[in-house]
Amino acid sequence: MLQPQSIYIAVVGVGGVGQAFLSQLQHLESRMRKASPPLDLRLVLVRRSKQQLQSADWSGIDISNVLTLLKSITGPLPPWNEVLNHLSKAPGKVVLVDNTSDLALASTYPEALKKGISIVTPNKKAFSDDYALWAKIFEAAANGTGSPNAGYVFHESTVGAGLPVLSTLKELVETGDEVTKIEGVFSGTMSFLFNSFMPVGGGGGKFSAEVKKAKELGYTEPDPRDDLNGLDVARKLTILARLAGLKVKSPTSFPVESLIPKELESCSTGDEFMEKLPEFDNQMDELKSSAAKEGKVVRFVGSIDVPSKAVKVGLEKFDASHPIAALKGSDNIINFYTKRYGFNPLIIQGAGAGGGVTAMGVTGDLLKVISLLKQN
Ligand SMILES: NC(=O)C1=CN([C@@H]2O[C@H](COP(=O)(O)OP(=O)(O)OC[C@H]3O[C@@H](n4cnc5c(N)ncnc54)[C@H](OP(=O)(O)O)[C@@H]3O)[C@@H](O)[C@H]2O)C=CC1
Ligand SMILES: N[C@@H](CC=O)C(=O)O
Ligand code: NA
C-alpha cells in the first residue's frame, strides 16, 4: 500500500494559544488520517522557554501527552539555530508553529523559510517590528518573492485573532480594490476592559480589577503592559498598513496613546505593575465620569488613512448608539473603507482574543500551508 504523505510539525510555545492549537492539531491529525488520500500530520518537536521535546527518529510525539512529557524534560535548551538545522533535515516538509511573542525567534523566520520550513504564527513581532525584517521575510518566502523551494508564511491571527481580517484585506488588494481607510477596535483586551469598566448605561467595575480578569481570561499579552501601552494595537495597525501598501517603519513611528500611568512606567516587572495598578483607578474613574457628563463612553481605537499615510492609536469618545460603544466582551470590530464598497464599509466583528479563537486562525493557516505543500 502507498504510504501517505507526511508533514512534520514543530510547535514553539504552549501557553494559552499553544495549548489550544495542540488540541486543534489533534483533531486535524485524526481528520487528515481518514481523508482520501490520507495525510500524515506528525508532531516532531515541542518547545517552551526552558524545555524541549523532540521525536528522536521523526516517528512523532503523542499529542495528547505532550505537556506531561515536556514537564519531565531536564537539562539545557538546545540552541535555536541547531534546531532549525535539524528540522531542515526532516524526511519531508516541515511547518513551524510559533506560539510565542518572542522577537528573537521571529527574527529567524527568513533563515527558516530559506531552509524550506513553512511558518504559521500568531506572533506579531516579525511582521510589525522594523520594516527591514518584514521585507526579508517576504523576500525569503515561497508565497512572497522567494524560491519555490522555500517555505510559506501565514499569520492570520496576528490581527483580530481568528477573525478573517488579513485574508480579507489581501483579497481586497489583490482583486484591485483601493483601500482608503481601516478603522475600529483591534484589541480584545482593550475591548473587554472598556466594555466592562465603562459599559453603555453606566456602572462597571474598577479598571485594575478588569485588567486582572482580562489576564486570567488569556486575552492579554504575556505582559499586560504591552496591551495597555497601546503597542499591541500599534503592531496590528502596522501589519494592516503594510498589507495595504504603506511602508510603515515601525509601530513606534506614529502617535500611540498609552494607558500606563506615568508613575508606573518604571516598574521592572509585569507583576509589580499589576500590584500597583489599583492605586491609579481614580484616574480612570475621572475619565469615565467626564465622558458620562457628555452622555458618551470612551473606547480604545485605531485608524489608518491610506491616502494621507496617517496611522493613529488611542482613546476616543463615542455616543451610546455608536456600533463601537455597543461592542461586547473581547469583540473587535474592523471597518474596511474601499472604493468598491463605497460609503458603507466592509465590517468584520467578533471575539478578538482568547486561546481557542486565536488557535483557530493558526490552524486555518496550517490548512492553507498543507494545501500548498500537497500541490508540490
Ligand atoms: N492570547 C490571545 O488572545 C492572542 C495571542 N496572540 C499572540 O499569540 C502568542 C501567544 O500568546 P499566549 O499563548 O497568550 O501567550 P502565553 O504567555 O500564554 O504563552 C507563551 C508561550 O511561549 C513560550 N515562550 C516564550 N518565549 C519563548 C522562547 N524564546 N522559546 C520557546 N518558548 C517560548 C512560553 O514558554 P513557557 O510555557 O515556558 O513560559 C509559553 O509557552 C503571542 O505572540 C500573542 O501576541 C495573538 C492573538 C490573540
Ligand atoms: N493581547 C491581544 C491578543 C490578541 O492579539 C489582544 O488583547 O487583542
Ligand atoms: Na485574524
Residue nearest to atom 4 of ligand 2 (CA): 353
Q: Does residue 340 share a domain with residue 202?
A: yes
What atom of ligand 2 comes closest to residue 358's alpha carbon?
4
Residue of minimum CA distance from atom 11 in ligand 1:
17
pLDDT at 375: 83
- Is 15 marked as binding a ligand? yes
Locate 276 and state its grid cell: 500597583
Domain count, the chain: 2
Any residues with Cβ below 6 Å from ligand 1, and which? Answer: 12-18, 47-50, 99-102, 105, 122-124, 157, 161, 188, 218-219, 221-222, 353-354, 358
Q: Are residues 196 and 92 in the same domain?
A: no
Q: Give the environment of ion ligand 3: residues with CB less than 5 A.
A: 156, 160, 163, 165, 361
SS3 311: strand
DSSP letter, residue 204: -
Q: Report the separation in Å between the CA atom of 143 and the middle of ligand 1, taken as the mean of its atom positions.
A: 25
Same domain assignment for residues 131 and 199: no
What CATH number does residue 214 fall under? 3.30.360.10
The pLDDT, as a whole number, for residue 1 is 58
Cα–Cα distance measured from residue 337 to residue 355, given in angstroms and rounded to the nearest whole number: 29
- Structural domain of residue 62, as residue ranges? 5-161+357-375
Domain identity same for 175 and 315? yes
pLDDT (tens digit, 9 = 90+) per residue, 241-281? 999 999 999 999 999 999 999 999 999 999 999 999 999 99
Q: Which three cell numbers stand for residue 270?
A: 509585569
SS3 of residue 231 by DSSP: helix
Q: Is 124 annotated as a binding residue?
A: yes
Q: How far is CA 204 from CA 77, 196, 277, in A?
A: 45, 6, 17
- Which atom from ligand 2 is nearest to the alpha carbon of 186? 8
Q: Which of 48, 220, 330 to mutate to test the pocket of ligand 1 (most atoms within 8 A of CB)?
A: 48
Q: Do 191 and 125 belong together in one domain?
A: no
Q: Of 236, 247, 249, 339, which residue is the catalytic one?
A: 236
- 363 and 314 inside one domain: no
Q: Which atom of ligand 1 is nearest to the CA of 16?
A: 13
- For residue 4, the model assigns a pLDDT of 82
Are residues 250 and 229 part of one domain? yes
pLDDT by position in tens, the chain (length 376)? 567 899 999 999 999 999 999 999 999 999 999 999 999 999 999 999 999 999 989 999 999 999 999 999 999 999 999 999 999 999 999 999 999 999 999 999 999 999 999 999 999 999 999 999 999 999 999 999 999 999 999 999 999 999 999 999 999 999 999 999 999 999 999 999 999 999 999 999 999 999 999 999 999 999 999 999 999 999 999 999 999 999 999 999 999 999 999 999 999 999 999 999 999 999 999 999 999 999 999 999 999 999 999 999 999 999 999 999 999 999 999 999 999 999 999 999 999 999 999 999 999 999 999 999 988 7
- 305 and 286 share a domain? yes
Pocket mutation for ligand 2, best pick of 17, 99, 123, 187 (most atoms within 8 Å of C-beta): 187
Question: Cα–Cα distance between 211 and 39 in angstroms, integer?
Answer: 43
192 and 306 housed in the same domain: yes
Do 180 and 292 share a structural domain?
Answer: yes
Residues 341 and 210 in one domain: yes
> With the CA atoms of 36, 42, 48 and 51 taken in that order, what torsion angle do they form, in degrees rounded to the nearest 10?
160
Same domain, 191 and 71: no
ipTM for the whole predicted complex goes beyond 0.90: yes
Dist. CA 124–CA 134, nearest whole Å: 11
Give the ligand 2 atom nearest the CA of 219.
7
303 CB neighbour count, 10 Å cutoff: 18
Domain with 36 in it: what CATH number?
3.40.50.720
Question: In the chain, what is the straight-line distance between the N-terminal and C-terminal CA atoms, in Å?
Answer: 21
Indicate the pTM of the whole model.
0.97
The answer to whether residue 93 is catalytic is: no
